[in-house]
Structure 1
């Protein structure tokens, strides 16, 4: 399964998204986005965490929480 996901990411390139609530909009088609915290590639079909405010994607809940703490835990 991981091999299939990696092949899909290599052939599709990096996407550009506009993050909204509760979904995202694809601005530039691609197979993945990068986690703003770890730099890890996230296949679009596995993307579950992002910030509408910062327009960033996160690989998992821990990365999302880390970014929130770095930002001071503030909501605007």
Structure 2
């Protein structure tokens, strides 16, 4: 089992996404990607998010897909 499949102790965090930073509202060891549902370990693996949508993304491709869905572009 890899670390994404088993995010470890602490459960899912609740995060407020800010410009260039984020604030943990409820402690946890991971957040979920809004597009793929994959676990994103905190703090090291969280690199992509949307302030406007308050969503986290596992990678740049997931972030781009979220933007496409939000704007209705394909």
Q: TM-score, normalised by structure 1?
A: 0.84
Question: Structure 2, unaligned stretches of length 5 or more?
Answer: none
Change (3 A) 1:64 1:6: closer
Judge conservation of contact 1:9–1:31 (CA < 8 Å) in 2: yes
Judge conservation of contact 1:16–1:33 (CA < 8 Å) in 2: yes
Change (3 A) 1:66 1:24: same
| Equivalent residue number for residue 61 of structure 1 | 60
| In structure 2, distance between residues paired with 1:70 and 1:39 | 16
Root mean square deviation of aligned Cα: 2.0
Structure 1 segments, 4+ long, off by >4 Å, are none
* Counterpart among 38, 41, 60 of residue 40 in structure 1: 38
Q: 1:10 offset after TM fit, Å?
A: 2.5
Count how many residue pairs are aligned between Structure 1 and Structure 2: 71
Q: TM-score, normalised by structure 2?
A: 0.86
| Equivalent residue number for residue 50 of structure 2 | 51
Change (3 A) 1:6 1:61: closer
